[in-house]
Amino acid sequence: MTEAASQAPAVVTGTQPAGGRILIVDDSRLNRQTMAGILGGFGHEVIEAEDGRMALERLGADGSGIDVVLLDLVMPELDGFAVLASIRSNAALSRIPVIVVSGLDDLEGIVRCVEMGAADYLPRPIKPTLLRARVATSLADKRLRDENANLLTTVERQREELSRFLSPQVAALVSTPEGEQLLAGHRRAVTAVFCDLRGFTPFAEVAEPEELLGVLREYHGAMGVRITEHEGTLEHFAGDGMHIFFNDPVVQPDHAQRAVRMAMAMREDVTALAAGWARRGYDLGFGVGIAAGFATAGRIGYEGRYDYAAIGNAVIMASRLSGQAKAGQILLTQRAYAAVEDTVEAEAVDGLQLKGVSHPVTAYNVLRLRD
């Protein structure tokens, strides 16, 4: 009776891990049968390949559910080194542990295999207990890698789902552990932008619901492209009104410039849309308020329903200016204008009476970019 036959267990105990799919690659039928008998006794499913080319066919493009490869080195046509290189060059196969099995007393060859990415080395003659231990270790490693890969896929899918409802920057923030401190609340200089459609309220009072939704879809679609393009954080939109801010949660040294350039691009887009709306009898314009200053940003809401918001005087001022802006105007506070005056031409708008402000305010209406 051979050593393999005498030491292979008759039953698999309840403490054994669930078996895996093991690919045995060896040009010796006796070697394959010996290892298959041992592994089958430990609850593993065995697939055999008599040479390197057949091994790659068994693996296919994605591994075909193989968990561990037992690979002989000396084979005709395509040897174990070539098979190992092919496995490691394929991203879909590279997570599969490869245990080199050889009777060669060749330290240089063993080192070469490890450098090429082999998970382990098993000498002949095969000892069942050692084979069992090496396969179990590699199988556990493979399953851990698969779990990590699945977890990353899940996180990416959740991030994509979150980005449908949150700004991409906030969606990325809430899916990373290091974002928790920012979510808890922090103070930062921001540029806040409020914008909405002039004449929307009277239009909504007389328009059919289908007309109203059609206008909003066109408007939101165009504005969303600009917000994403300039990497603004959309706090919320309600009907035709939108609140966007810059420099949080991602730091942007040119946040005022981004805000103004976004607003100018939005103005152009709405001008084009408004021409089409006018042909349908809708008289709608576009106004923007922009303010720069410090704000406290973080998570607000309640369990099960949170938003990411910025709160502060800059946000209030941007909202107030938006309410005063006429169709086509982009009104900036003095501080916001000072940050961009080298790059834009603007005209002063004096004597604005803003809610909550005791004195008249001078704002600056952005006309165009400087040459």
Residue-wise pLDDT tens digits, 82-102: 999 999 898 888 889 999 988
Give the pLDDT of residue 6.
37
Give the pLDDT of residue 183.
74
Stretch(es) of the chain classified as CATH 3.30.70.1230? 179-369
CATH architecture of the domain 179-369 equals 2-Layer Sandwich (3.30)
- Lowest mean per-residue pLDDT among 160-174, 277-291, 338-352: 160-174
Give the pLDDT of residue 249.
86
Residue-wise pLDDT tens digits, 19-53: 889 999 999 999 999 999 999 988 999 999 999 99
Give the pLDDT of residue 161.
55
CATH architecture of the domain 3-160 equals 3-Layer(aba) Sandwich (3.40)
- Which of the two residues, 189 and 103, has the higher pLDDT score? 189
Closest residue by Cα to residue 56 from 75, 41, 38, 40: 75
Residue type, 208: E
User: Looking at the predicted structure, is the pLDDT value of residue 11 above 50?
Assistant: no
Closest residue by Cα to residue 24 from 324, 59, 10: 59
Give the pLDDT of residue 312.
94
Helix (H) / strand (E) element for 259: namely: helix 255-279
Residue-wise pLDDT tens digits, 55-85: 999 999 888 789 999 999 888 888 889 999 9
Give the pLDDT of residue 250.
86
Residue type, 93: L
Give the pLDDT of residue 17.
46
Q: How far apart are CA 32 and CA 40, in angstroms?
A: 12
User: Looking at the predicted structure, is the pLDDT value of residue 256 above 90?
Assistant: yes
User: Looking at the predicted structure, is the pLDDT value of residue 307 above 90?
Assistant: no
Structure tokens at 312: 């502060």
Burial of 110: CB neighbours in 10 Å, binned 0-12, 13-18, 19+: middle
| Backbone dihedral angles phi then psi of residue 191, each to the nearest 5 degrees | -115, 120
Stretch(es) of the chain classified as CATH 3.40.50.2300? 3-160
User: Looking at the predicted structure, is the pLDDT value of residue 7 above 60?
Assistant: no
272-301 b/e (C-beta count within 10 Å ≥ 16 → b): ebbeebeeeebebbbbbbbbbbebebbbee
Q: For tokens 């921001």, name the residue.
A: 190
Q: How far apart are CA 95 and CA 44, in angstroms?
A: 19
What does pLDDT average to over the chain? 86
Residue-wise pLDDT tens digits, 322-362: 999 999 999 999 999 999 999 999 999 999 999 888 899 99
Q: For tokens 């982009």, name the residue.
A: 330
Residue 247, phi-psi category: left (phi > 0), alpha (psi -120 to 50), beta (remainder):
left
- Which of the two residues, 212 and 155, has the higher pLDDT score? 212
